[in-house]
Amino acid sequence: MRSIWKGSLSFGLVNVPIKLYSATEDHDVPLHQVHDKDGGRIRYKRVCEIDGETVDYEHIAKAYVDGEQTVILTPDDFAALPVERSRDIDVVEFVPTTQIDPIMLDKSYYLAPDSKSTKAYVLLMRTLEESDRTAIVKFALRQKTRLAALRVRDGVLTLQTLLWDDEVREARFPELDESPKITDAELKMSRQLVESFASDFTPEKFTDDYQEQLRTLVEAKLEQGDALDTEATFGRETEGGGEVLDLMEALKRSVEKRRGETPRRRRYPPRRPPRRRRPRRRHPRRRGLPPRSLPRRRRSRRSRRLRDASASRALLSHLHGDPVVEEAPKAASRNHH
Q: Give all domains of the chain, ordered by start, each with its CATH number.
A: 5-27+81-167 (2.40.290.10)
Pair 134, 151: CB distance under 8 Å: yes
Residue 168 has pLDDT above 90, yes or no: yes
Q: What is the tens place of the pLDDT at every residue in 199-212?
A: 888 888 888 888 88
Mean of pLDDT over the chain: 79
16-49 pLDDT, tens digit per residue, is 899 999 999 888 888 999 998 898 999 988 999 8
Task: Note the pLDDT of residue 256.
Answer: 78
Q: What is the pLDDT of residue 68?
A: 82
Q: Is-contact 127 65, C-beta < 8 A?
A: no
Cα angle: 210, vertex 213, 215; to 5 degrees: 110
What pLDDT, on a 0 to 100 scale, did the predictor assign at position 331? Answer: 47
Residue 279 pLDDT level (bands cut at 50, 70, 90): low
Q: What is the DSSP letter of 164?
A: -
Q: From its phi and psi, is residue 317 left (phi > 0), alpha (psi between -120 and 50) or beta?
A: alpha
- pTM > 0.85: no
Are 149 and 52 spatial neighbours (Cβ–Cβ below 8 Å)?
no
Q: Which of 36, 35, 31, 3 lies closest to 18 in space, CA to CA?
A: 3
Q: List CB contacts of 172: < 8 A, sequence separation 6 or more.
A: none
Query: pLDDT-derived band of residue 243, with 50, 70 and 90 as boundaries?
Result: low
* Kind of pairing between the strands at 14-22 and 88-96: unpaired
CA dist 32 → 29, 42, 210, 241 (Å)? 10, 8, 17, 36
More confident residue, 100 or 276: 100
- Relative to beta strand 14-22, strand 133-140 is unpaired
pLDDT in tens, 110-163: 999 998 888 989 998 998 888 888 999 999 888 788 999 999 999 999 999 999
CA distance 133 to 329: 97
